[in-house]
Amino acid sequence: MDASSGSGSSPSTTQPHTSSPSKTPIIHEEVVDIGGKREKVADVWSHAKKIIKRNDKNEVIVVVAVCNYCKTEAPTHSRTHGNNGIDGHVKKCKKNPHNAVKSGSSQPILTQSSMDNALTPHIFNQNKLEEKVVAFVVKDEMSFRVVEGAGFVKMMKEAQPQFKIPNRKKVTSLVRELYAVKASKIKSVIGDQRFKKVFGRMTENVQFVEYFEEVDGLEKKKRVGPPMKKDWEKAQVFVDFLKRFHDTTLQLSATKKTTSPLIWEEIVAMRIVIDETILDTTNPSLQEVAKRMESKFKKYWGNLEKVNKLIFLGHILDPRYKLQMIGIHLGDMKLDASKIQSFVDSLKNCLMELYHAYKGNSPLDDINGIDDGDIDKDLMEMYKNDPIKLNYHLKMAQVRKTQKQAEITNEVDKYFSDPFVKWSSSFDILEWWKGNTTAFPVISKIAKDIFSIPSSTVASENAFSLGRRVVDPFRTSLHPKMVEALVCTSDWLRGEEISLYKEPTEDEFNFYKDCEEVVTSK
């Protein structure tokens, strides 16, 4: 039985209808539920509903189908019209959103405004939707690879099948483009000056101090807005303090040179800046920032025994420093002379252990027997019936083993006893070790492997949490230029609309952490 005929269907609602253009007054309108458990329902009834109109005598006047989108009526009696009328209308209905998807981006669909819920026409635009995706990544602090996630892809295919989802490389490029657009707007506000990085901007745009003071004077009242001279001075102090960390990030994020020999040196430099700032009482706010940074610094670098030894080995394999510079660094950290000597000796022993591992011989193996290769087989055959002479030859092989062990130790000692290489800005540590492979064949292999270790081993992506101002532990830090683009663009985008988000305080974070530990412990 055809589902369109309404046979076997039951009325679901009854509504009075008093105003009708028909000659016979319509008293009742019944919406018919199309289809039963065993009936195949036509697709058109997903976009329309069937209504039976009756008079006061309960006689059927007309059977119509009403479009769900524009409320247009079409005759649909099973014997005289069938589904053709409403089916043709639904396929051409301008308000049917499914037609907009099928017909291309030129067909508008109706959407609700976020402000007043009014229906407004909407046309799909690839570029605009890409901008929304970029805003989502920046404002919600998502990683660039989120656009390649299976869940995100399925969601976008369901929401807008026409949308060609950009990959993470394109998202990275779009973030830079959005940052440039927003930055140009700031540039037009502050004047025709070159938009520079935060550390260069402070010294090159000094004229803005006088400009803002003039603006503030014209207002003749205190207001929130242009920074005053003392604000610029405070900003300059913070910039000078953060410059050390900015330079360190640039050094360790380099990709075209080895960074392993630089890690320990940069750690020491950051430690000195933090300590000096804590002792400076002229700026209490900056002093408080330095104290918090010190607690984080000690957490990761405070205990030398827990620091990865490869960081120190990368430093001592620099022929300009060797073990001497580390001793000076530890002395500035107020360590006892005995502790310094003990730690330096442990580093030398660590290098010795690596040496034995690379050489293929351990200290225990060197005294546990004799390698047959050290004894001439012809000699063994010659003295097989003369045990006395054979015994002397075995003793001679043992002496050679002992001398070989001494040679192993001497190569490490030779490196530390050789003169220091003169410091030069053009010094290339990789070229130096390449040229001294003959003098230090084993240590040069160790240096090659250690120097190949990058300071950062995770793919570049959005690693910063703007809520707690800390680096995500599962990601690496970004290049400073990308950090600036993400942080500034996020701030500018948030400023364009009212945000009800309130950043949690440190106490609230600790409370949440305690709650999470209680839940996970159960």
Predicted local distance difference test score (pLDDT) of residue 367: 36
The answer to whether 86 and 44 are in contact (CB under 8 A) is: yes
34 part of a folded domain: yes
131 part of a folded domain: no
- Cβ neighbours of residue 42 under 8 Å, at least 6 residues apart? 3, 4, 34, 83, 87
Half-sphere exposure of 44 (CA within 13 A, CB side): 20
The answer to whether 5 and 78 are in contact (CB under 8 A) is: yes
35 part of a folded domain: yes
Which of helix, strand or coil describes residue 31? strand
361-364: long-range pairs with CB below 8 Å, 24+: 361/408, 363/405
Give me 488's structure tokens: 């500034």
CA distance 359 to 463: 41
Provide the Cα torsion 278, 279, 285, 286; round to 10°.
-60
Give me 218's structure tokens: 């014209």
Domain range enclosing 29: 3-93
Give me 380's structure tokens: 């063994």
Could you count the other beta carbons within 10 Å of the beta carbon of residue 407? 10
The answer to whether 16 and 27 are in contact (CB under 8 A) is: yes
Tell me, what DSSP letter sits at residue 476? Answer: P
416 part of a folded domain: no
Give me 207's structure tokens: 């004229």
Which of helix, strand or coil describes residue 470? strand
Query: What is the Cα Rg of the chain in Å?
Result: 39
CA distance 42 to 33: 13
Residue from 157, 128, 48 nearest 93 by CA: 48
370 part of a folded domain: no
CA distance 366 to 406: 10
List the Cα angle 457/460/466 in 5-degree steps. Answer: 115
List the Cα angle 433/437/443 in 5-degree steps. Answer: 75
The pLDDT tens digits for 108-149 are 555 555 545 555 666 778 888 888 888 888 888 788 888 888
The answer to whether 125 and 105 are in contact (CB under 8 A) is: yes
> Given CA atoms 440, 443, 445, 448 in this order, what sign does their dihedral have?
negative
* Segments in the chain below pLDDT 70: 1-27, 35-40, 100-122, 187-226, 361-379, 389, 392-393, 400-410, 456-478, 480, 495-509, 511-522
Which of helix, strand or coil describes residue 28? strand
Strand-pair category, 109-112 with 73-75? unpaired
List the Cα angle 404/405/407 in 5-degree steps. Answer: 65
CA distance 506 to 503: 10
CA distance 380 to 394: 10
Predicted local distance difference test score (pLDDT) of residue 313: 92
- Cβ neighbours of residue 39 under 8 Å, at least 6 residues apart? 1, 3, 8
Q: At what angle do helices 284-301 and 229-252 cross, to 10 degrees?
A: 20
340 part of a folded domain: no
Predicted local distance difference test score (pLDDT) of residue 109: 57
CA 281 to chain centre: 36
The answer to whether 198 and 243 are in contact (CB under 8 A) is: no
70 part of a folded domain: yes
- Cβ neighbours of residue 367 under 8 Å, at least 6 residues apart? 401, 405
Predicted local distance difference test score (pLDDT) of residue 492: 76
Helix (H) or strand (E) holding 62: strand 60-67
DSSP bridge pairs for 31? 13, 51
Residue from 137, 115, 46 nearest 83 by CA: 46
Predicted local distance difference test score (pLDDT) of residue 319: 92
331 part of a folded domain: no
One-letter amino acid of 209: V
CA distance 265 to 329: 9
How many structural domains comprise the chain? 1
Which of helix, strand or coil describes residue 46? helix
CA distance 317 to 446: 9
CA distance 363 to 303: 30
The answer to whether 344 and 327 are in contact (CB under 8 A) is: yes
